[in-house]
Structure 1
Amino acid sequence: MPSSPSSPSSPSSSSSVESVAAVLRSAGCVFAEDEARLILSQARTPRELTVLVDRRVAGLPLELVLGWAEFRGLRILVEPGVFVPRRRTEFLVEQALAQAPEASVVVDLCCGTGAVGTALATALGDAELHAADIDPAAVRCARRNVAGVGGRVHAGDLFAALPPGLRGRVDILAANVPYVPTDEVGLLPAEARDHEPLVALDGGTDGLDVLRRVAAQAPHWLAPGGCLLIETSEAQAPTAVEAFTRAGLTTRLAVSEEWYAHVVIGTRR
């Protein structure tokens, strides 16, 4: 295992960027220079810099080393044992805002850190935000993130967690459900497999178990014209579209080649 860089006189010096990047590169970090700059910006002292670099070299995800992840220009707090928001999911947020630019009630289901809901509420300005997750660690983390936009976080299994008064009122229902097939969870990168909760990754035999549950119940919660958005994979997209359509939603698939993102969008008729 590579050694940590020698303690620099200033954690933000250009020479430190080069030395930290060299250590990270030796440890297999693909974007070593970018990660080095982020770690240096977080370190307040040379000793803290050494600790942060050691954690990254040991395999801790960068977001857990920093304590935050960037998502749509926001710093989203990330705590151990919570699903780290992916940058490609910004595409889901963009699609939601394009579909319902005047949304006043937003639900972030399977919220994890609450990144999607926080980003939506920030963009919309004064929307009523509710987030929910079955994982207590995610609920605690999300509460810290949505507090700044006046959001509420509920603990429980999908719609059972939500206040009954939301039925028929939701303009945007964003559900970042787990969609990795059970047999493929073990093939995930170690950063996800070893540090993120299985409940946030494992989507069942074909990866779509939770998606089907959400799609089936969504029409009861959506306002007229309200939309459900769920990210999925390219291979799963046709089956996911079928599940939305079977639930009675007007459905389309949005694809971003840049982010390699696939979002199924269903609108209540």
Structure 2
Amino acid sequence: MPELPPPSARPSPAPAPPAVRAEAVTALRAAGCVFAEDEAELILATAGTPHEVTVLVERRAAGLPLEQVLGWAAFHGLRIAVEPGVFVPRRRTEFLVDQALAQVPDASVVVDLCCGTGAVGTALATALGPVELHAADIDPAAVCCARRNVGAVGGRVHEGDLFEALPAALRGRVDILAANVPYVPTDEVALLPSEARDHEPSTALDGGADGLDVLRRVAAGAPDWLTPGGCLLVETSARQAPAALAAFAAAGLAARLAASEELYAHVVLGTRRPGAR
């Protein structure tokens, strides 16, 4: 596919001629995009020239996630930078952010584990005001992308496997530990839409045999990093929620489930009890 010039070299988008708009909609509709008109508007608003419109439409028609085509995703009122090959933040995960803010509204130390683009940590820091923000991911591409977002709000991003990536000085100091872990069972990854299956890293999707392998590791390690009263929040599915709650309880956390019917979102919250390890 043709390459786009770097963003700094692109002119500001101008109103597209009707013919360019119509061609974009037609091409997207032919590719099976259900919301072809809406997607065309976003592409037209992002592209600087008719040529760039063509390039972006071709990328979308080839199956790339819209957010990777645009280079950004809307999340919790923010425009989050998204790069190719990085997990795209889902709207339902905004519910996790809201739950964290409600649970620890005065948080001063925030960690975004399995951060992907860093959308969760960026949203939390934006809402909370000045905080010490750390994010971590095992995928180098995600770390690179997250630095664009997390760095913009004064945070730091670390590369590594879960807690191994974090500075030791954070132990026992974390108020909010948000972990949008992979939770798709291995046998079900092949059933995901091609946008996710073919264009997002398996490390951000595959959660092991029952989808809870990474969740269990995070729950087991969390008490050592949370401050008394600090909260771990992890997204899961309705089917997995009972087992996820059990994993939190086994780690010594006071666990509960929050759910949003509107977003079809399920978040397990675990609070470190005062006096716990």
- 1:261 counterpart letter in structure 2: A
Following superposition, the deviation at residue 43 of structure 1 comes to 1.1
Following superposition, the deviation at residue 58 of structure 1 comes to 1.2
1:238 match:
242
Contact 2:174 2:226 in 1 (8 A): yes
| Runs of 4+ residues deviating >2 angstroms | 10-23
**Over residues 124-168 of structure 1, what are the superposed CA-to-partner deviations in whole Å (9 max), with x where a residue is unaligned?**
010110000111111111111111110000111100110111011
1:261 match:
265
1:134 match:
138
Q: Which of 58, 75, 97 in structure 1 is aligned with 2:101?
A: 97
TM normalised by structure 2 equals 0.91
**Match status 1:193 vs 2:197:** yes
Cα distance in structure 2, aligned partners of 1:15 and 1:116: 39
TM normalised by structure 1 equals 0.94
SS at match of 1:40: helix
Following superposition, the deviation at residue 16 of structure 1 comes to 4.4
**Over residues 206-253 of structure 1, what are the superposed CA-to-partner deviations in whole Å (9 max), with x where a residue is unaligned?**
000000000011011001100000000110011001100111111110
Q: For 1:49-88, list aligned pairs within 5 A.
A: 49-88=53-92
Identify the range of structure 1 (171-180 vs 75-84) with the bigger mean alpha-carbon deviation.
75-84
Residues paired across the two proteins, number: 260
List alignment gaps of at least 5 residues for structure 1: 1-9
1:227 match:
231
2:25 match:
21
- 2:243 counterpart letter in structure 1: T
Cα distance in structure 2, aligned partners of 1:256 and 1:222: 25
2:211 match:
207
Following superposition, the deviation at residue 13 of structure 1 comes to 4.8
**Match status 1:109 vs 2:113:** yes
Cα distance in structure 2, aligned partners of 1:206 and 1:193: 18
2:49 match:
45
Following superposition, the deviation at residue 12 of structure 1 comes to 3.2
Cα distance in structure 1, aligned partners of 2:208 and 2:260: 25
SS at match of 2:254: strand
- 2:258 counterpart letter in structure 1: A
- 1:63 counterpart letter in structure 2: E
Quote the sequence identity (%): 77
Contact 1:109 1:158 in 2 (8 A): yes
List alignment gaps of at least 5 residues for structure 2: 1-13
Cα distance in structure 1, aligned partners of 2:196 and 2:132: 31
Q: For 1:173-188, list aligned pairs within 5 A.
A: 173-188=177-192
**Match status 1:124 vs 2:150:** no
- 1:123 counterpart letter in structure 2: A
Cα distance in structure 1, aligned partners of 2:150 and 2:49: 30
1:5 match:
none
Contact 1:11 1:44 in 2 (8 A): no
SS at match of 1:130: strand
Following superposition, the deviation at residue 30 of structure 1 comes to 1.4
**Over residues 15-73 of structure 1, what are the superposed CA-to-partner deviations in whole Å (9 max), with x where a residue is unaligned?**
64444223212211111121111000011111111111111111111111101111111
Please report the RMSD computed on the Cα atoms of aligned residues, expressed in angstroms: 1.2
Relative to structure 1, is the Cα distance of residues 14 and 227 closer, same or farther in structure 2, using a 3 angstrom cutoff? farther
Identify the range of structure 1 (186-195 vs 51-60) with the bigger mean alpha-carbon deviation.
51-60
**Over residues 67-88 of structure 1, what are the superposed CA-to-partner deviations in whole Å (9 max), with x where a residue is unaligned?**
1111111111111111111111
Contact 1:11 1:45 in 2 (8 A): no
